[in-house]
Each structure stands twice: as C-alpha cells, then as structure tokens.
Amino acid sequence: MPANRYYTPQDISKGSSILLESDEALHLKTVMRNQLGDAVELVNGKGLLGYATVFEISKKEVVLKIEHLERHPEPRTVELGIGFLVQDRLDLLLEKGCELGLTKISLIKTQNTSKGGLTDGQIERMRRVLIASLKQSGRFWLPQIDLVPSLEDFLDERAFTYFGDIDPTSPPFFEAFDLNTPFKLLVGPAKGFSKEEVLFLKGEKNVFGVYLNQATLRAETAAILMVGLATHAFLLK
C-alpha cells in the first residue's frame, strides 16, 4: 500500500487546500498518526495524484495543501457484468477486481437472482470497499458501479461479450478473447445462469461462452479470474 495515501472525491489542483472527508481524516489522525507538516498523497479516483502536506489538524477536521500534482491517463475499459451476490462475496469481488484493473462493475438482475436493486447503504459500502482497494493497490481511477435490469440491457452490439460457460466444449478464455476489440465480461449469479439465459446468450451475435476451469467455481471466483485474465492480456500486447 502506498504510504500515507488518502482519498477525496473532490477535484484537486496545485496550491489548493482540501478538507478531508470524515473517514479519511479519522484514518489520518488515529491510524496513521500523521502530524502537521507531514508529506502525504491524495487521490480522487479520477486520475489525479496530489502530493500534499498536512496543513491543519483539529478535532473536527483535517486540511491538506496540494504541493504538486500528477495526472494519470484513464485505463482501458474492463467492464464486468455479474448477477447479484451476497454482500461478503460482493465485497471480495470488488476488492480484488479493483486491484486487477476493473473499471466498471454492472450488477444484473438475472432469472436466478431474487434481488434487483441495492439500498443507499449497500451502495455506500461498495464504494468504501473500492476506495480502500484503490488506495492499497496504487491505482488512480475508481471503478464505476451500475445496476442493470436484465441481460439484454447489459449486452452491447459494439463490443464482444465473453461469459463464463460451464460447457467444457467451449473454448478456453485466451482462445476466444480478442484484445483488439472492445469487450465486456459476464458471469452468472451464485446459482448460475438459467438454461433459458444460456440459450439466449449463445444465440446472440458477438457473445461468446468461454470455459474457465475444470472445477466448479464460485461466481466471484470466476469473475476475479476473468478480470485477471483480461488485464493480463494487456501485458502481452
């Protein structure tokens, strides 16, 4: 984890003063025990890295002053669609997906998921997990969260979609994956896709089933594997 790195959703610029959000301020004061004048780093999840000093510490707030700024380009899009998962499984997926380079996660209402939405509290929890992973992994762009009402709404004719298929006759990921074409990754919920959904996916243009492993993988394991394989392919280009 980069030392003394904090997060703010605010726009940051050289010479500006930033009031840290309460959670980050508490972390700075009580966990990292930073003092006035300490050098720290600040990311905003939009590609900016600020090198700052601790300008003010009080009981209620922490102010950082930005001394220098770096801009990091937006990474290549890696979007994952997955059926709704229970919270602890979703937390794991968010954490590891962000580490590996996921840029967007779309939670999809499928036939084998009873849930079709999230509360504000659940979305805020997801956001906190992503922020922690963003800081720990040294990345600069915070993944987006989207809620999608159906598989049909997730598919995009402008991109190839690769879905985790339990059919062992389907090609392995790297045999099917085209790095030069925009793509989406797709995994079913904990109970998997229904037979009707699998038939639908296999009948769609630019949708490809890929076989991931001989073992039966949990949904979040399959999703993490697919994100890792796709982002690793970028290193091979």
Name the pLDDT band for 1 (thresholds 50, 70, 90): low
How many Å apart are CA 231 and CA 209, to the nearest integer? 18
Q: pLDDT (tens digit, 9 = 90+) per residue, 181-211? A: 999 999 999 999 999 999 999 999 999 999 9
Work out the pLDDT band at 26, boundaries 50, 70, 90: very high
CATH topology of domain 5-71: Ribosomal Protein L25; Chain P (2.40.240)
Position 167 scores a pLDDT of: 94
Report the C-alpha gap between 85 and 103 in whole angstroms: 19
The predicted model gives 74-102 an average pLDDT of 96
State yes or no: pLDDT of 3 exceeds 90: no
Q: Would you put residue 199 in left (φ > 0), alpha (ψ -120 to 50) or beta?
A: alpha
CB atoms within 10 A of CB 35: 10
Mean pLDDT of the chain: 95
- What would the CATH number be for the domain defined by 79-236? 3.40.1280.10
Alpha-carbon separation of residue 60 from 29, 63, 139, 166 (angstroms): 11, 10, 29, 53
Question: What pTM was computed for the model?
Answer: 0.93
Q: Are 40 and 12 in contact (CB under 8 A)?
A: no
- For the segment 125-150, the average pLDDT, to the nearest whole number, is 96
Q: What DSSP designation does 103 have?
A: -
* Chain region(s) in the chain for CATH 2.40.240.20: 5-71
Q: CA 108 to CA 82: how far, in whole Å?
A: 6
The pLDDT-based confidence of 60 (bands split at 50, 70, 90) is confident
The average pLDDT across 209-228 equals: 97
* Structure confidence by residue, pLDDT tens digits, 93-136: 999 999 999 999 999 999 998 776 788 999 999 999 999 999 99
Query: In the chain, at which residue ranges do the beta strands (DSSP E only) sit?
Result: 5-7, 17-19, 39-43, 48-57, 62-71, 79-83, 104-108, 144-148, 160-164, 183-187, 207-210
Q: Is the dihedral of CA 147, 79, 7, 132 positive or negative?
A: positive
Outline which parts of the chain fall under CATH 3.40.1280.10. 79-236
Residue pair 91/123 in contact (Cβ under 8 Å)? The answer is: no
